[in-house]
Structure 1
Amino acid sequence: MRYLVGLIGSGITESLTPPMHEAEASALALDYEYRILDLARLGRAPDDVGSLLIQARQEGFSAMNITHPCKQRVVDVVDELEEDADHLRAANLVVFVGSRTVAFNTDWMGYRDALIVGLPGASFDRVVQVGCGGAGAATAYALLSHGTATLELCDVDEARREDLAARMRTRFPTQVVRTWPPGEISAAIARASGVVHATPTGMRHHPGVAFDVGLLQPHAWVSDVVYRPLQTELLRQAAERGHRVLDGGLMAVGQAYASLRIITGAQPDRGRMERHFRTLTSAEDRARGRRRS
């Protein structure tokens, strides 16, 4: 069987998702092609995601990954939402099943698996999360699914953090979900068993650190969803202070792993996908270093 898969989003020409999918599909001996549909290059608006899905199905695509800024928009234009995508009101994978479109969210699956693989034995008694946007919704859902007893959410956008908290309380009624404005989060971080960073701060074009790692308890762990670069300034500072850290690479690999499994029904090799991903990011870093020199 031939698989034709695409990615819809804006500014995605350098995405690592296509080479991750194609390399693992090749290792599995699958006939698999992955194409990018960049809204910016196509001159299309985010609200065109529905018409792009119709066009893709007509052209014989098997599935489409969905990324920023269409993850929330796509839930309103598909025929069916898998349960977790419905709870999150965001999807990053649409599979064509006959004449129907079925949407999934594999971001939360990728982060849940990252927690299992990357932080074995860690305490999830009290976790603080900074950032409640698209990535933050997925990480919050994963944290509570993984058994976090108390999740404390912080975001500069009050409506966004309260909406996410309300949805998580409905889905996980036996666990505690609290919210904090940025100016009041320091005390929560100081008593947390772990802190998750889910904002763009720390990305190459958004340098900085979202909170003071000096507030952390000695045993606390730190997780960052940013993976370009893999070692953000936040993780560097936390590691230097002796904290366990989890970079954004495992989440990126995990969502690709889950998407590939759903699309093909095959069983990808997660370790092999991670090794390939880190090879790709290392090559990027070397190329960037040569351009600077």
Structure 2
Amino acid sequence: MNELVRTLSSAAEAAQNRFLVGLVGAGIQASASPLLHETEGDELGLRCLYQLIDLDELELPPEAIGELLDQAHRLGFKGLNVTHPCKQLALAHLDELSPTTRLLGATNTVVFANGQAIGHNTDCSGFSRSFTLGLPGVALGRAVLLGAGGAGTAVAHAALELGVGELTVVDIEEERAARLARALVARFGESRALGVGTAALEERLRGADGLIHATPMGMASYPGMPLPPELLRPEMWVADIVYMPLETELLRCAREL
């Protein structure tokens, strides 16, 4: 934890007259977030310093998110983006949640204001916009979502809001998938969602119109495919929430079919 304090203190000293913000997560050294946020800040006339706070580099467990948020707030950070594996763990350490964050049970953005830490979630709206722009007019009868974590939860709600008729949620933890499916059914109605374990992935992909991938697999820190490539079909669309690299192995395999 001393290393955490030193890291955050160094960032605070370097910020000077800039807005100090950052990203907390595990295995995030290849993230493009600093470049994206600092460039956009310049465009908007905001001088930002965006720091990566990597739990792996600091040798801290995900459960350290509470102490990390407290230290960042105390040292002058204006806010933090939150990614895997802390999106759900962070909620217990926040003073206030936006309606979307409360609904989804996960946060990807924490704002420090008026002495409070306030959780927001832009994963849902972000996926909706990306999907609408990237896959306009695709069939939405049946889709399979791989991953029921913080990002997967947001994407699941977005998918049903977009009009997916039936969504199968698949997760390595079957109970987590089932829990998310129950929440979706409560909001959107019976027959709209089903939660299963990974053993059922092949069966559920048969006849599915599309696949949504919402696990860290494919990121620089988690290279590889989240499923056997032979389960993909030429007529099935694929959406991947991993953006670094822009073309994951999953997307490359799907395009080559």
TM-score interval, smaller chain: 0.7 to 0.9
For 1:165 and 1:7, locate their aligned partners in 2 and report how far apart those are by CA, in whole Å.
29
Pairs aligned (count): 240
Kept after mapping to 2: 8 A contact 1:190/1:215 = no
- Matched residue type, 1:236: R
Match of 2:28 in 1: 12
Find the counterpart in structure 1 of residue 185 from structure 2: 169
Of 39, 43, 65, which aligns to 2:81?
65
How much has 1:76 moved relative to structure 2? 0.5
Percent of residue pairs identical = 40
Q: Describe the superposition over 1:126-176 as per-residue Cα deviations: whole angstroms up to 9, x where unpaired.
A: 111122233322221221122222111222321111111112222323661
Letter matched to residue 207 of structure 1: G
Give the stretch that moved more between structures: 33-42 or 107-116.
33-42
Among candidates 213, 233, 250, match of residue 197 of structure 1: 213
Change (3 A) 1:175 1:142: farther
Relative to structure 1, the CA distance from residue 211 to residue 10 in structure 2 (aligned partners, 3 Å threshold; closer, same or farther) is closer
In 2: Cα distance, 1:192 partner to 1:90 partner: 27
Give the residue type in structure 2 aligned to 1:6.
G
Distance 1:134 1:143 in 2: 15
Q: Which is further off, 80-89 or 221-230?
A: 221-230
Give the counterpart letter for 1:186 in structure 2.
Answer: E
Q: Considering only aligned residues, what root-mean-square deviation do their CA atoms show, in Å?
A: 2.4
Task: Give the whole-Å Cα distance in 1 for the aligned partners of 2:100 and 2:86.
Answer: 17
CA drift at 1:3: 2.3
Relative contact order higher in (CA < 8 Å, ≥ 6 apart): 1
| Match of residue 170 from structure 2 | 154
- Which of 114, 121, 127 is matched with 1:98 structurally? 114
TM-score (norm 2): 0.82
Output the CA distance in 2 between the equivalents of 1:192 and 1:34: 40
The one-letter code sitting in structure 2 at the alignment partner of 1:38 is D
CA distance in 2, matches of 1:223, 1:91: 21
Q: Which residue of 2 aligns with 1:285?
A: none
> 1:211: how far off?
4.1
Q: What is residue 222 of structure 1 aligned with on the other side?
A: 238
Deviation per residue, 1:34-83 (Å, 9 max, x gap): 12223344454432322322222222221111122221111011011112
- TM-aligned CA deviation for residue 203 of structure 1: 4.3
Supply the distance in 1 between the matched residues of 2:232 and 2:89 (Cα, whole angstroms). Answer: 37
- Of stretches 197-206 and 128-137 in structure 1, the one that deviates more from structure 2 is 197-206
In the alignment, which residue of structure 2 is the partner of 1:251? none
Shift of 1:213: 4.9
Is the counterpart of residue 144 in structure 1 residue 160 in structure 2? yes
Cα distance change on mapping 1:175 and 1:86 into 2, 3 Å: farther
Q: Identify if the C-alpha distance between structure 1 residues 213 and 44 changes in structure 2 by more than 3 Å, giving closer, same or farther.
A: closer
Write the mapping of 1:43-122 to structure 2, written as runs, cut at 5 A.
Answer: 43-122=59-138
Give, in whole Å, the separation in 2 of the partners of 1:208 and 1:56. Answer: 35
Residue correspondence of structure 1 range 248-259 to structure 2 within 5 A:
none
Change (3 A) 1:50 1:144: same
* Runs of 5+ unmatched residues, structure 2: 1-16
1:8 counterpart letter in structure 2: V
- C-alpha change, 1:83 and 1:174, in structure 2 (3 Å) is farther
